[in-house]
Structure 1
């Protein structure tokens, strides 16, 4: 079950300017969130 999709640091740095700033709630790891979204889009739930 090691077929997870993970963004590289280079890919993450290219899209980082589009992330919103956090207000009051501690941020989670952006790379993990984006990679999870892409995984669901590619493979479904």
Structure 2
């Protein structure tokens, strides 16, 4: 088993309009972004 460590500069919880806008802005500034969304499906 490979143990791969992932590193992000920004964690955004929620992929609604505001969360995605923040992710786009952070990404455009060179940040590594992780967006987490909760879904019932």
Q: Same fold (TM over 0.5)?
A: no
TM-score relative to the length of structure 2: 0.37
Which structure's residues are more often strand, by fraction? 2
TM-score relative to the length of structure 1: 0.34
Which structure's residues are more often helix, by fraction? 1
Higher RCO, 1 vs 2 (CA within 8 Å, ≥6 residues apart): 1
